[in-house]
Amino acid sequence: MQNSGDGFHPAAPGRRAGDSAQNGDGIRDWQKNTWMGPAPSDDNPFDEPESAPELKEIRSQNVNEHVGEFWSEQPVGYQSYGSRESRQTQEENSKKKNKAGNRKGKRIFFIAVLFLAGLLLVLRFAVFSVREIQVTGNRQIPASEIIRISGIRTGDSILTLNEKNVEQRIVSDYRLQFRYLARHLPRTVVIAVREREPCCWLTYCGILYVMDKNRMVLYETEDTSVRPAGLVELKGLDIRSNTIVGQEMVLGNEMQRLIFNELFLEMKVLGCTEEITEADISNPESILLATADGFTVSLGNRENIHAKLRSLLLVREKLNQMEMHGGTISVINPETPIYTPAS
């Protein structure tokens, strides 16, 4: 059967379906080169074109040999954990650094402690140490004895002196009263005391006792012929107990205790203790005094003792100016004292 020229033509032997007719060069359509870029070249693609020779000058000549600063640097980032061995090495290095840091910190702390201890020792023994001890307020007791009683010694730290302990040592001696402790930095200490001053005396059970204004027994003797000068002789005192040196005498009459306290306190304030030679308080409602110049004084009861003693001093001074001695002065009413001459 014969076909027309534009009809279907079966494939010829050695020809695949879909191929068009071969060209004159014998290349089928599917074998043709479809590259649309520039024509291939035999030039090395790693070489810079001649139009940019400056790139070739700065290019490293050791790219393939791994030589240079870049290849010698320590890997950072995720690269440093690329293997188990590298992680272990870094952990060990980190532990070593931590141990070294701890040792350095301990060494610095130890040096700081030594420096602080040395500084404290210098301040303790060289700067703020006691070199001079002064005593004020003493009259009869030597300063050296008071310093011994206080327990303070040269060389002690002036900053750590305990005033309470010093006070307890001072008052343990019945003759002394503590006032204060002063520090004059860096080396001087002042101990201020007050000696217990005797103000009166009495005889009891054949023994003579000397007391201060707080009824503290300061002295005793069996020689009753001794008459302490400048002190008031007490009469009519109701003694209960504690007639021992260094203790306060206990009285059996509360009214007498009040009279004793007020009378000797006011005499101390007015400075007339040495001008009174006797005080008879056997009758609390009729207190009697005797002066050194021979006057007998009637105070009445304990009310307004200060005004009564002041009135007594004024009247006595006036009588001495008038050259009148002896007799009785009544200051029961201090505003209108009464003088009765001796008969």
Query: From residue 141, how far is each of 175, 218, 283, 304 by CA, in Å?
Result: 9, 13, 37, 36
All domains of the chain, ordered by start, with CATH? 132-195 (3.10.20.310), 198-340 (3.40.50.10960)
Average pLDDT over residues 77-104: 64
What distance in Å separates the CA atoms of residue 338 and residue 320, rounded to the nearest whole number? 15
Q: What does the alpha-carbon distance between residue 266 and residue 23 come to, in Å, rounded to a whole number?
A: 154
* Confidence band of 3 (pLDDT split at 50, 70, 90): very low
Query: Does the pTM of the predicted model rise above 0.75?
Result: no
pLDDT at residue number 1: 45
- The predicted pLDDT at position 8 comes to 47
With 70 as the cut, is the pLDDT of residue 4 above it?
A: no
Lowest model confidence (mean pLDDT) among 2-16, 107-121, 239-253, 318-332: 2-16
Instruction: Provide the strand spans (E) within the chain.
Output: 132-136, 176-184, 188-195, 198-204, 207-212, 217-221, 232-235, 239-241, 250-251, 276-280, 287-291, 296-300, 328-330, 338-340
| For range 199-209, the mean pLDDT | 94
Task: Say what the pLDDT of residue 81 is.
Answer: 46
Listing DSSP states for 243-289 in one string gives: -STTSBPEES-HHHHHHHHHHHHHHHHHT-GGGEEEEE-SSTTSEEE
